[in-house]
Structure 1
Amino acid sequence: MSAASNLSSEDQFLCSICLDVFTDPVSTPCGHNFCKNCINEHWNTSDRCQCPMCKEGFNTRPDLRVNTFISEMVAQFRQSAQQKTSSSEQQESKPGEVPCDVCTGTKLKALKSCLVCLASYCETHLEPHLTASRLQRHQLIDPVENLEDRMCTKHNKPLELFCKTDQTCVCTLCPVLDHKMHKFVPLKEEYEGKKVELKKTEAEIQQMIQKRRLKIQEIKHSVDLSEEDADREKAEGVQVFTDLKESVERRLNELIDTIKETQKRKEKQAEAFIKELEQEISELKKRSTEVVQVSLSEDHVHLLQSFPYLKAAPPTKDWTEVSVHPPSYEGTVVGALHQLEETLSREMKKLFDEAELKRVQKFAVDVTLDPDTAHPKLILSDDGKQVTYGNVKKNLPNNPERFSDCSCVLGKKSFSFDRFYFEVQVKGKTSWDLGVARESINRKRQITLRPQNGYWTICLRNGNEYKAPAGPSVLLSLKSQPQKVGVFVDYEEGLVSFYDVDAAALIYSFTGCSFTEKLFPFFSPWRNDGGKNSAPLIICPVNQTEWTDDI
């Protein structure tokens, strides 16, 4: 990697902020590189500390150090560029380059053109213009072709003035002969002015280039994220439909087993009847044989004595009403399909809720409690993640932000755009309030939780009464008591949703909300209720849960 010829293109050594080769290159935690001074100035003038390329945000400003590896690569690149520049000097002029007008034979590349001599010179033939006092007064410019274009076509004199009226270059005779009463400035003065304008234009163009380069990186990053999301969704889709397929196959096997079992019962019943009938036939055949034998006997006494026994038929069952009806399977398939439909509907809802919860968990934010807003009887943990109700009222400053009548506390950070999500453990509590509140709520009197007053919350009372204070309150019927509650807000869509995290189930949603102020996470652990409600509310880290699908 030490050879300059092995280095990559110049673009890889350009800072995407200043669009120049890196100076003191540093790397952000997300892996992108910038000039140290450029990224620091960018963050100094920005409201949010985030990467200009991938937009990843940082909770605290990273401590940036010069990347020695990239710094060495940049140094090699600069050295290589200088070597290429020096080696290109005194080369033979190529097509498109200005040749020296003095060279005979091989024409070398011109370094300068003289507006007085109307000729272009290579380094060797330019020497007199640099050393002779008479020629040093000539005006030299970067090499150009067609030096005749620098002469006035009418007066055959150099173009030295600029006519601001006609916006054209003129010679010293033009103001007298052809541009009377026009406004003129020296060509150099106009040149300097236009040069300043071009620098501004160039800066604007470079800014446009920078924005587009950043946009390219943003689009590429978005494509990468989209690909990751697509792979994840495909994997989840395969798993879901595999589970559904297995569920259908399981229900089909159960249907077939039910039909087989019914048929087997009928077969056993028929076999029992047939066995009993065959037994009676055997007995009847035996009696028939005895009757025939006695009938053929010439022993009068024996016949008369046997007659009563033979006359009476052997004990048999009356089979007149006995029959084996074929089983009716009508409705069996329909019933199985109906049961399958209910199962799939239930499981589809479960899968949808799980997918929805996973989606909103991606917008998780770090929430900590603000002690300046806490009611004096509330006890906050040192890390600002837990709150409990205390029986002793602390002597705290009655600042405007603090709740004075209700045992509530807000999160430190406010939100006024985009989407955010956080989770709170409510395990072991019999009463609590959770949600979000707008910044302008009245904190110095008793409050009524409802959207009209700036609160979007759900509540638990008496251990089993869940409600959403929507004005009027909506009673919530939950299959199980949530141990952890997720709160999701879509500011732009006007949506506040609450989830039972462990069950991956939606508890309630406020829809059609109109947010015009900053929103703060809102918490109330309520009173201890004689120790029954002494458990804390705990703000938990968000981990996307893997649920099992019991289809």
Structure 2
Amino acid sequence: MANNAPTFIKDISTCAICLDYYKDPRLLPCSHTYCYNCINQLTKSNQFTCPLNDGTIINAEGISKLPMNRTAKDMAEFLSSITQDYTSLKCGNCATNKCTYWCEKCDSYLCVTCSDNIHSQKILQNHAVVPSNQKPSSNICSDHPDEKLKLWCVTCEILVCRDCLLFKHKDHVYTSLQDIAQETKLKIKLSLQPIRENLEKTASKIHSIIEEQHQHYEATTLEIDETFQQLYTSLESRKIKLMEQLNEYRGKEKSLLERYQADINEQLKAIQAREALVQQIFNNNDSIQIMKMRKTLVDYDQTIDQQYHRIEQGCTFSKAGFNIGIDLKRIIDEYGTLKTEDIMLNPNGVQPKRNYISLNLSRPSVKNSTYQYEAQRGRGYLFQMQKPLKIRSVQLEASIHGQIAVYVVNNTGSVIKKESFISNDTTMKWTTIPIITELNTGYSILVWSPNTTGQFSYQEGDNNFRTVDQVCSIESKHADINHDLSIGEQLQLSLNSYSIRMIIDIEQ
């Protein structure tokens, strides 16, 4: 394997078993990735155990069904292409010495001697000579071999030449290769910055919380020890049982926090590797290569964004405290209990965990259907309630690849809250979009997507209000939406003859 790739890039492109770039990488349920052949070679007794000792076990018959990690595959293939071994190539002029340079004008690999001799002539001194491993990607149009790829078709999202614009891509929107490459560089470079900053902040918080947890459990241990010293003889067995229970809580919650921290560190590592990869691509100053890798990089950003949303949901851990019974003589055999408090930790901070319930707005006992999504229309529900509801998220059953937006509209038709989510899956499934706001009577929730390739699940119905529970009734609504709305924009809601499948998560 080549050794000139940055460490972060090699880490996400290298199999931990064979220590080489991935070949047919397969993704395990534990999120670790290995080469397909490596997994088979380590399978023993019809089972494969993850080498990283996380407890994941795959039966032999399930190995072939493991999904391919396409991001890892694309990264490995890209690194293999840019770390090609040029030491075995001979000079295209003398055919004797090993090549050192590539000259685009000469269209040849050259050794040092031949390159100096050829380009010593004044008329050839303006040739662009680069090291062999920095040879630019081919910029010849496959449809028009006499033309170079110098333009980007915005409509079709592919590289084109001037002749392409006269025929196959006539009347399409286009821009120059340099402009779109520069725009892509900037977009990719800035896309992960907010997530990275939040993850770094959260990682710092977790370190402090783990220390606080340690001190808390140390203090609780001391409290238990001092209490039981006074009743040592009669309560020794009970003391041991409580200490075992406390240590179990400590180990479990510390492990939970450390796993959460490990998840964040892994994503930070992936982001750093991704940034290093992007920087290496940019350093090559190869616009063709940038655009060829564009989809892979953008898809990888979306994958990281999805993983970040999972981390953003936080982890719940407990604090176990010692509680002394009231009548010690009467309850001596059951003396002392451990009181726990559930706490939510996420990138927004630490707070007591609240209980939530899910309110299914879908029509019961009605057959589901699917409908092609309309980019010009948002759909949802108008609410009539006896008391306000505090919502935490909206779930939508859909198969949309791309942006999904949720808007909360007040009783005057003004958008007062919005959240967006990037879906990276085209399968029909429930997608959760976090949105925290208070829902009052007369308010509406609408979902919208600019993508027309997906579908959503709906049920036939009518325009009447229907009761969801004892405090909430809803009416199906839709509104014309032709762009991503901003806070304060006005909407005209109309009656809708069918109901989309939606669930809202609310605080109890």
Shorter chain as normaliser: what TM range?
under 0.3
1 or 2 for the larger relative contact order (CA 8 Å, sep ≥6)? Answer: 2
Kindly indicate which of the two structures has a greater share of residues assigned to strand.
Answer: 2
TM-score by length of 2: 0.25
Larger radius of gyration: 1
